[in-house]
Amino acid sequence: MLDACYQEIVSRRRIKFQADETYKLYLRMCSRWLSEDLKPGILLYGNYGAGKTTMGKAIAELLNNLGYPMRSITARDIANLVAIDPEAFNTLKRENKLYIDEVGREPLVAKNYGNDKNPFIEMLEFRYDKQLFTVLTANLTDEEIVDRYGPYIDERIAENFEKINYENKSYRTGR
């Protein structure tokens, strides 16, 4: 079912679906995470164009189709939300299932009534404390995650998230 959702998302973008061995490996890993009692989060990270966002969207679509509502949002939109609608931000961080795309592209600090907030870090800490189902996608390396968010957040990610490093070439450019 995850495979069908992934293929549907690819077809909506009018590009050719490539069922190569790398895709099959990532599909098995994500399917295992969904079907077994593993960590409450999954981090799909690595190279640009490697299929991370498509897989994140496929997971969200699958769960929504099965009647398990999952919200989707970009990390940048989370940063904007904390500045313009703090109540909506607080509601979002409590979502039972949440997919956050483009982690690492958001501003680290957002202003909320003149106060500096770290929206992504606050979101991740809350979801860590509550052990909430979370999907993250990022074009970051392990080192960049530590550099950007610090060892404290990296430790929480390691504890709470299955990590899948997308090391394959871009499906868009082949590089």
Q: Return all residues near 111 (Cβ < 8 A) that are at least 6 apart.
A: 83, 117
Give the pLDDT of residue 127. 98
C-alpha dist (Å) from residue 113 to 34, 53, 80, 109, 137: 39, 32, 13, 13, 29
Would you identify the CATH topology of the domain 2-166? Rossmann fold (3.40.50)
User: What's residue 110's pLDDT?
Assistant: 83
Average model confidence (pLDDT) for the chain? 94
Convert the pLDDT of each residue in 102-157 to its tens digit: 999 998 888 777 778 899 999 999 999 999 999 999 999 999 999 999 999 999 99
Answer for the pair 171, 52: CB distance below 8 angstroms, yes or no: no
Q: So what's the pLDDT on residue 145?
A: 97
Are 145 and 157 contacting, i.e. CB atoms less than 8 angstroms apart?
yes
Other Cβ atoms within 10 Å of 151 Cβ, number: 11
How much is the average pLDDT of 52-60? 98
**pLDDT class of 9 with cuts at 50, 70, 90:** very high
Reported residue count of the chain is: 175
Write down the pLDDT at residue 175.
76
Cα 146-152-156 angle, rounded to 5 deg: 95
Q: What would the mean pLDDT of 46-72 be, rounded to a whole number?
A: 97
Return the closest-CA partner of residue 145 out of 72, 76, 45, 69: 45
